[in-house]
Structure 1
Amino acid sequence: MNKNFTKLQVPIDKDDLAGLKKRAQSLGFDSVQAYIRVWAKAVKEGRQLNFGVDDWGEPSDEAAARLNRWAEEAERDHKAGKLETFATVEEFMKDLRA
């Protein structure tokens, strides 16, 4: 263990721990400990975490249709070989800056 770490033991109800494990996994954490570390660091830094909260909301029907149309066009152009491909990041950046 890193010398800057300390161990925290917290008595917790088994059902609460099981629910916390399930929630942590649903958020992509590999353990309850990882979830708690992220939460604790955010609290220390004065940040508020909003896991599962979508501040942007759902797109309007018009926006969703537009995004779907763009995705279909990109897929069609890709299959037709109309999209430029790059072998390296440098090639991509050169084209991007041109």
Structure 2
Amino acid sequence: MSDRGSVTVETAIAIASLIATIVAGLGCATAALTYIQCVDAAHEAVRAAARGADAPPVDGVRIQTETAGDVVRATASADAGLLPLELHATAEAALEPGES
């Protein structure tokens, strides 16, 4: 049996593994940045809703606010980009006096 061509096959497998690792790392980094964006958007939305104002729009982030009693809750969600995930962040705040 000949070992001819085995170096080429091993190199191809190594390159494919390296590319897969890089793509997975980029996907995780993108997901982390998107999650931070969701957290920031939820905090901004809940602060605005507590004052009775509209939440500022954020590209790629869906924001939903709801009020229960004297507490307002904002939930921000977005797709993670390269990874098949949907990320969520929630923030709560008390309504400002005079707001309902």
**TM-score by shorter chain over 0.5:** no
Tell me which protein shows more strand as a share of its residues.
2
Q: TM-score, normalised by structure 1?
A: 0.25
Considering Cα pairs closer than 8 Å and 6+ residues apart, tell me whether 1 or 2 has the greater RCO: 2
